[in-house]
Amino acid sequence: MSHTTLCERHQEKMTFHTTWTTEQALALFELPFPELIYQAQTVHRKFFPEATMQLSTLLNIKLGGCPEDCHYCPQAARYNTGIKAEKLMSVDSVRAQAEAAKEAGATRFCMGAAWRELKDRDIPAITAIVKEIKALGMESCLTLGMLTEKQAQALRDAGLDYYNHNIDSSREFYDKIISTRTFDDRLQTLQHVREAGMKVCCGGIVGMGETIADRANMLVVLANMEPAIESVPINHLVPVDGTPLSDMPAMDPFDFVRTIAVARIMMPQARVRLSAGRVKMSDELQALCFIAGANSIFYGREVLLTTGNPEIQRDQALLARLGIECI
């Protein structure tokens, strides 16, 4: 199949969802950079004709102390990163942060807790937080680790819009970065989220030493989810001292943009979020990512869980220079 035909096939119907193969994904990665960006921008304009950027704010509502061994994460209790475990934030404190995010222009409020899984004892506090966010008229998203069916339903009943649970990388590379939770554990939680009726936010991290084939395979898993996922965060590894990936060399910027572009083509209807790592990206690199199809960013706080995030003024200035409307 020609590259042109491949691109046209995935634009044909806005509701069409295909099954992708590794070979097809790799063919996109191997395109000349100008051709790949052209195809990604063509798909992007088909499904998002207006130049808009979704602004989401991410708050760490429970810092540190996680028992997992994710090699990239400074919140893992086993790594010496200088982060001390804290208790879950109060409902009032979270609401105050959400109000500030809304005032700054964010329309979606995302919250993360450094847990392996949600405990039933924490459900009353978590559902109260969700209800407060919804009362502000904002979209709500949580990432709390693994969920049971019953817990997923409780979050849905509280009004939660999205649940984030990243697959992190390909199945083949996964056990090189995490041993305390399996790839299938992650898929099971995502199934519980879907069955409860919530929207799925699911993506991964690149720059951890994975191959292009690993990136392709990760995107194939994401793109083949049924129903199609609505939100896809693409994180650029931020090496943190004390973690096993602290000395990982920087990823080539064009390879990162390629990942964004392939994600856009393979998941045309999703919001592709430019996530961790933006603080070290130039305005020009971010603009390339937006052209490649990223149309959502984390915004409005100096940190994303524990790593840096650009200042509000810088984001506002960049989006204004590019003529992109914030939503």
Type of residue numbered 311: E
Q: Residue 150: which residues within 8 A CB-CB, separation 6 or more?
A: none
Tell me, yes or no, if 73 is annotated catalytic.
yes
To the query of whether residue 7 is one of the catalytic residues in this protein, the response is no
Burial class (CB in 10 A: 0-12, 13-18, 19+), 265: buried
Among 7, 66, 202, 289, the active-site one is 66
Which of 273, 278, 289, 301 is catalytic? The answer is 273
* Residue from 70, 108, 264, 301 carrying the catalytic annotation: 70
CA torsion through residues 170, 176, 177, 183, sign: positive
Decide: helix, strand or coil at residue 236.
Answer: strand
Comparing C-alpha atoms, which of 1, 9, 5, 3 is closest to residue 46? Answer: 9
Give the active site residue among 7, 73, 202, 289: 73
70 is catalytic: yes
Which 8-state DSSP code applies to residue 85? P
273 is catalytic: yes
| 117 C-beta neighbours (distance < 10 Å), count | 15
| Catalytic residue (choose from 7, 141, 202, 289) | 141
Contacts of 125 (CB under 8 A, 6+ apart): 88, 91
Which residue among 95, 108, 110, 186 is the active-site one? 110
- Strand 307-308 to strand 139-143: parallel, antiparallel, or no bridges (unpaired)? unpaired
Active site residue 289: no
**Residue 326 a catalytic site member:** no
Q: Active-site residue among 95, 156, 181, 201? A: 201
Indicate which residues carry an active-site annotation: 66, 70, 73, 110, 141, 201, 273
